[in-house]
Chains A and B, each alone.
Chain A
């Protein structure tokens, strides 16, 4: 961590937009003191409970009930909300100073014991594979703590990530686990005890290079970039030409509040024209997104995407190494839509990625306006 001027500002918690307590300005103590209060999810130990140990929907419901039972009424009302597609759509890549409409309390609004339950819920809702699922989430949050340490800019912090239950977690009915903040959106929709969607799913990180924060090395999206580069490097020159999209993409197309932006006419290289080996490399790139969810759910989703591979396209602009500013790659299938965009650094030198995984039929659990 580099030395930064200590910032002392009066204690303040902003009430912003549609959020609950909003994001925190540095309060009372110095920036260093504030960092000492870093929530550090990685160091948080999930509690032992009577909810069982297998990462099932029943266990998530049990943990959610435990969390809710210990909350004061105001915090509970913000966490447990009626199911609302409109609120499900309030996700963003922006930090809280750029997007103030997220719903639910932030991690900083909970006690350490309550955050331990939240960590258990997030772990059960995601995979436990290294650099994917929960581990990816933890590293993206660490990146925000790193940005705060490096820039001193209020708004960056792992404490500013929102969680909400849209609908009541239960064995029957529809609900969504909503979790998100800067560079992260998790949207797991459950219906009658089963996960029916894990999208829209946004991931981004700055810095993109390896950084040390909260006691660990972090590079949560290197696997996605490497998988895309590997798939593109396996294409023949003719296939690369076919895969090259017209124009330039400085960002993803189907980002937040752009639910209708996916082109209806796929562009790029039809994967029905490539060898099984290349198809496997593209599917490996897809898996860096789908494997963010539990194995059983990921297997179901991947089976669908594999069955549709011959009608799926890969397209890119920029360089096929996917390492330079404005490099862009997308996978466009009958169901799957994945974009990866390498962009200039916002707060630090270098590039950083934005990426989204959508499912054309399953986003938001298939719910439509």
Chain B
């Protein structure tokens, strides 16, 4: 995640509590993948009783992974060329320790989602509808990156509460 690290260092930080979520969208010839890095305690707060309040970095029980899959199915969706993409499937949910220069050590959850795509299917414009964590923690946000095959991930936008509408608008990507 070298690209993400360098981007974080080049941008002014803007929050003292946990950092926001990072979402990397990867478009491969026959697959759409999303890797989410989410601060654990914020996610636990947003999921209410669906996630233990605290954990080490031990693998999560199957029922917790199922709860995560259910939660994100309710708070994340992708459409390609205006049509819903196939259901995103959670394949990995790993707690990891992370450090932040101001916050210090904390736990984050790395989640891999993917969906198969027809090999010849055009994916752009791609629309990400997402309000995980943000629906509860109103000051949080998610930075979205696009990773194309053989290319470095590029930041393409930030998903957050719109101060004018009080809602979280989808993010549309028109191409790599």
Interface residues of A (CB under 8 A from B): 90, 92-95, 97-99, 101, 204, 245-253, 255-258, 260-265, 267, 326, 343-344, 346-347, 354
A264 proximity list for chain B (CB < 8 A): 163-164
A255 to B101, CA, bound (A): 18
Counting CB contacts under 8 A, is B17 at the interface?
yes
Least distance between A265 CB and chain B CB atoms (Å): 6
A347 proximity list for chain B (CB < 8 A): 104
A250 to B45, CA, bound (A): 10
Contact at A251–B102, with CB atoms within 8 Å? no
Find residues 139-176 in chain B having any chain A CB closer than 8 Å to their own CB. Answer: 139-140, 163-164, 166
Choose one: A98, A247, A256, A265; the contact of B135 (CB below 8 Å): A247
Q: Which of A101, A255, A267 has the most CB of B within 10 A?
A: A255
Q: A97-B102, A248-B45, A265-B166 are in contact. Are A354 and B16 (CB under 8 A)?
A: yes
Contact at B163–A250, with CB atoms within 8 Å? no
Counting CB contacts under 8 A, is B98 at the interface?
no
Contact at B16–A346, with CB atoms within 8 Å? yes
Contact at B137–A255, with CB atoms within 8 Å? no
A257 to B14, CA, bound (A): 6
B16 proximity list for chain A (CB < 8 A): 93-94, 204, 251, 255, 343, 346, 354
Q: A95-B102, A248-B45, A260-B163 are in contact. Are A255 and B14 (CB under 8 A)?
A: yes
A264 to B163, CA, bound (A): 6
Q: A248-B137, A344-B17 are in contact. Are A94 and B42 (CB under 8 A)?
A: no
Counting CB contacts under 8 A, is B15 at the interface?
yes
Q: Mind listing 21 A-B residue pairs with CB under 8 Å?
A: A92-B12, A93-B16, A94-B16, A95-B102, A97-B101, A98-B13, A98-B101, A99-B13, A204-B16, A245-B138, A250-B137, A250-B140, A251-B16, A253-B139, A256-B14, A257-B14, A263-B164, A264-B163, A265-B164, A267-B166, A343-B16
Least distance between A216 CB and chain B CB atoms (Å): 26
Contact at A92–B138, with CB atoms within 8 Å? no
* Chain A residue nearest in CB terms to B160: A261
Least distance between A347 CB and chain B CB atoms (Å): 8
A346 to B18, CA, bound (A): 10
Contact at A247–B137, with CB atoms within 8 Å? yes
Q: Which of B13, B104, B138, B139 has the most CB of A within 10 A?
A: B139
B103 proximity list for chain A (CB < 8 A): 346
Contact at A92–B13, with CB atoms within 8 Å? yes
Contact at A249–B137, with CB atoms within 8 Å? yes
A121 to B146, CA, bound (A): 49
Q: A262-B163, A346-B104 are in contact. Are A251 and B45 (CB under 8 A)?
A: no
Choose one: A101, A261, A262, A343; the contact of B12 (CB below 8 Å): A101
B137 proximity list for chain A (CB < 8 A): 247-250
Q: A94-B16, A95-B102, A99-B12 are in contact. Are A251 and B139 (CB under 8 A)?
A: yes
* Chain B residue nearest in CB terms to A253: B139
A344 proximity list for chain B (CB < 8 A): 17
* Chain A residue nearest in CB terms to B138: A247
A267 proximity list for chain B (CB < 8 A): 166
Contact at B102–A94, with CB atoms within 8 Å? yes
What are the nearest 7 A-B pairs in CB distance?
Answer: A98-B102, A250-B17, A247-B138, A263-B163, A251-B139, A257-B12, A264-B164
* Chain B residue nearest in CB terms to A252: B139
A343 proximity list for chain B (CB < 8 A): 16-17
* Chain A residue nearest in CB terms to B12: A257
Find residues 13-67 in chain B having any chain A CB closer than 8 Å to their own CB. Answer: 13-18, 42, 45
Contact at B102–A253, with CB atoms within 8 Å? no
* Chain A residue nearest in CB terms to B42: A250
B17 proximity list for chain A (CB < 8 A): 250-251, 343-344
* Chain B residue nearest in CB terms to A317: B138
Contact at B12–A346, with CB atoms within 8 Å? no
Contact at B166–A250, with CB atoms within 8 Å? no
Q: Which of A204, A250, A262, A346 has the most CB of B within 10 A?
A: A250
